Amino acid sequence: MKKKLFVVLVLVMAVILSACGNDSDTGASSTNFNDPDVEFAQGMIPHHRQAVEMAELAETRAASAEVKELAAAIQGAQDPEIQTMEGWLKDWDKPLPDEGMSGMDHGSTGDDSMPGMMSTDDMESMSKASGTEFDKMFLSMMITHHEGAIEMAESEITNGTNADAITLAKQIKDAQTGEIATMTNLLKQ
């Protein structure tokens, strides 16, 4: 009987100690980061801001209910991700990207650091379009935008060290791959 009690106590202690270890690992992961983690957050924030800006245009300009729903889903996913990444940068004592960076002309300058960004001209064209013309423009541009985000996410997955940032990168890759498939199907209609 004493031997069984001893085994049970050892097992209980092992569970308690492993739970404590997991808590400290989780807390430590937010301070464990490298340059690629910082670059991912600093690049993805303005990238997401531009996607949100594009999605906001769809509220009043899109003809298709499916495009409006997709745009709302994109905005709903990316706004919280922006806040999460801003929180990391603050925790890491790293600068936040400027608010105006979503409108930067990355598409026409050949800036490879943020693939998929729309140029200022692209954004102006989209803001002037409406109806089915807007729908096609939005879907085509958002596919390109998502492909750029996936490229950035894959770089983080390969080169980052922060567990939370890598997890978010995987979520972005999975979600935006699915959204590209949806947008490709909508373009065929």
Nearest to 141 by CA among 71, 78, 69: 71
Residues in the chain: 189
Burial class (CB in 10 A: 0-12, 13-18, 19+), 58: buried
- The verdict on pTM exceeding 0.95 is no
pLDDT at position 102 is 45
Indicate the domain borders of the chain.
31-92+121-189
Residues of the chain with pLDDT under 50: 2-28, 101-112
Lookup: tokens for 164: 């939370």
Distance CA 34, CA 89 (A): 12
CA separation for the pair 34, 94 (Å, rounded): 11
Q: What's the token pair of residue 80?
A: 């919280």
* pLDDT tens string 119-165: 999 999 999 999 999 999 999 999 999 999 999 999 999 999 999 99
31-92+121-189, CATH topology level: Ferritin (1.20.1260)
